[in-house]
């Protein structure tokens, strides 16, 4: 009865526990099976003649934070045709020395943002064995496209190049695929492999202000409206007003210049979120320059446009803002205005439809954590599989 309970706890069918030994770091469980007729792999005849026995050490799931070793008394049969073969076990794959459930446990642990070495320590396996187990997992290339497709790059440093690309379904918040490089050749090859009817399903294409993304979207996703991520066009205004502050403080007294630098967050912060003391400090900063006051007013007006609820009002206010910024003629805002002119239609789409790259930035952050804890992964295919396994 006691032996039967332990066998049920281990959940091995037809296995009997002969002995259990403990030490400070591991548990050794000695197992055996009853003889039975087995099919010869050569002639397919049944035989029950035992040729010999041998003990095999098999690694299993940890028990009580100790490494578990199964000492299995393996039986080898002899067939009348002369073939010698070992008995088959449901929990142990052929030519393996780890159980099926330990391999499944390893794959499950690798779905977390932890290094291979940590999984190896927890399972009493080597990092090489962990890698070999994980290499059995292969995620195929995506063949279907979502309604809202988002694309962005991250710094991966694989053998293909410095930057890799991620594709995300914004509506379902799902990572679709990881591309080996953001270069045009890789993107063309990838998008060309996707069926035309699937590419035609994409209604919105969200990206940053990299020109190649927009050009490829027009070719391969003809039904999609191109949307520029909100963060990327809003920061143009933040950069412009920061450049105004930097140029003004160059001619100031060192003490005042130091004060302006340390208080730069007050200029970037929305006026309705400033405390009373912060408003007084900001007024003192704006007092020194008319140009800085005008730049701050432009920044506040633009942020107000971004928070409008009606698209018709946003569209008119955005066009008026560009004209007004041009009339003031602040040199630091010229680059910002030029960018808005070049991406005018795509920015209006961002106002109208509201899709952003927020989801893909979340995935990219998780990828960066995975890369950091792994101390970099040079093999792109393995890195891609790990990303898809972790993020989905």
pLDDT for residue 8 is more than 80: no
pLDDT for residue 4 is more than 80: no
Cβ atoms of 20 and 28 within 8 Å: the answer is yes
Averaged pLDDT score across all residues of the chain: 91
Residue 144 Cα distances to 139, 159, 309, 321, angstroms = 14, 27, 34, 40
pTM: 0.86
Highest mean pLDDT among 16-25, 31-40, 221-230, 285-294: 221-230
Distance CA 268, CA 284 (A): 15
pLDDT for residue 1 is more than 70: no
Alpha helices in 287-373 (DSSP H): 290-306, 311-328, 334-342, 344-353, 358-373
Q: Span 109-115, mean pLDDT?
A: 92
pLDDT band at 387 (very low <50, low <70, confident <90, very high): very high
Cβ atoms of 243 and 332 within 8 Å: the answer is yes
Q: Span 207-220, mean pLDDT?
A: 94
Alpha helices in the chain (DSSP H): 2-10, 100-109, 116-123, 127-134, 184-193, 196-199, 211-220, 230-249, 254-262, 264-268, 276-286, 290-306, 311-328, 334-342, 344-353, 358-373, 380-391
Q: Span 201-228, mean pLDDT?
A: 96
Q: Span 168-181, mean pLDDT?
A: 94
Residue 101 Cα distances to 148, 347, 372, angstroms = 38, 51, 28
**What's the confidence (pLDDT) of residue 211?**
93
Residue 225 bridge partners (DSSP): 204
pLDDT band at 99 (very low <50, low <70, confident <90, very high): very high
pLDDT for residue 289 is more than 80: yes
**What's the confidence (pLDDT) of residue 344?**
97
pLDDT band at 3 (very low <50, low <70, confident <90, very high): low
Closest by CA to 226, choosing from 149, 315, 305, is 149
For 64, list phi and psi in degrees, rounded to 5.
Answer: 55, 40
For the segment 352-366, what is each residue's pLDDT rounded down to a tens digit? 999 999 999 999 999
- Residue 375 or residue 247, greater confidence: 247
Cβ atoms of 80 and 39 within 8 Å: the answer is no
pLDDT band at 222 (very low <50, low <70, confident <90, very high): very high
**What's the confidence (pLDDT) of residue 2?**
52
Cβ atoms of 62 and 123 within 8 Å: the answer is yes
pLDDT for residue 162 is more than 90: no
For the segment 132-143, what is each residue's pLDDT rounded down to a tens digit? 999 998 999 988
**What's the confidence (pLDDT) of residue 374?**
83
We find that the CATH architecture of domain 148-229+356-391 is 2-Layer Sandwich (3.30)
Q: Span 107-129, mean pLDDT?
A: 92
pLDDT band at 195 (very low <50, low <70, confident <90, very high): very high
Distance CA 222, CA 85 (A): 61
Place of tokens 């800085």: 292
For the segment 229-251, what is each residue's pLDDT rounded down to a tens digit? 999 999 999 999 999 999 998 88
């Amino acid at each position: 009865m006691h032996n039967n309970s332990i066998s049920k706890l281990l959940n091995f069918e037809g296995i009997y526990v002969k002995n259990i030994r403990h030490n400070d770091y591991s548990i050794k469980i000695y197992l055996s099976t009853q003889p039975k007729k087995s099919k010869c792999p050569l002639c397919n005849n049944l035989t029950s003649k035992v040729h010999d026995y041998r003990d095999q050490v098999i690694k299993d799931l940890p028990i009580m934070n100790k490494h578990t070793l199964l000492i299995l008394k393996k039986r080898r049969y002899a067939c009348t045709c002369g073939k010698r073969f070992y008995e088959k076990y449901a929990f142990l794959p052929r030519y393996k020395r780890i159980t099926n459930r330990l391999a499944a446990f390893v794959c499950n642990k690798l779905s977390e943002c932890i290094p291979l070495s940590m999984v190896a320590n927890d399972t009493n396996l080597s990092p090489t064995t962990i890698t070999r187990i994980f290499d059995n997992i292969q995620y195929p290339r995506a063949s279907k496209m979502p309604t809202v497709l988002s694309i962005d790059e991250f710094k991966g440093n694989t053998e293909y190049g410095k930057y890799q690309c991620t594709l995300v379904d914004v509506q379902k918040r799902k990572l679709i695929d990881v591309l080996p490089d953001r270069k045009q050749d890789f993107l063309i090859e990838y998008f060309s492999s996707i069926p035309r009817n699937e590419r035609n399903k994409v209604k919105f294409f969200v990206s940053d202000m990299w020109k190649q993304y927009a050009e490829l979207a027009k070719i391969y996703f003809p039904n999609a409206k191109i949307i520029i991520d909100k963060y990327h066009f809003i920061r143009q205004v933040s950069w412009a007003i920061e450049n105004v502050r930097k140029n003004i403080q160059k001619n100031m007294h060192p003490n005042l210049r130091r004060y302006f630098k340390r208080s730069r967050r007050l200029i970037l912060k929305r006026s309705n979120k400033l405390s009373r003391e912060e408003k007084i400090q900001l007024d003192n900063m704006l007092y020194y320059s008319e140009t800085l006051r005008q730049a701050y007013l432009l920044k506040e007006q633009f942020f107000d446009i971004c928070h409008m609820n009606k698209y018709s009002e946003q569209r008119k206010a955005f066009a008026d803002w560009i004209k007004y910024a041009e009339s003031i003629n602040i040199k630091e805002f010229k680059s910002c205005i030029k960018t808005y002119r070049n991406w005018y239609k795509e920015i209006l789409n961002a106002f109208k439809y509201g899709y952003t790259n927020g989801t893909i930035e979340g995935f990219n952050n998780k990828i960066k954590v995975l890369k950091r804890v792994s101390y970099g992964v040079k093999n792109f295919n393995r890195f891609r599989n790990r990303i898809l396994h972790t993020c989905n």
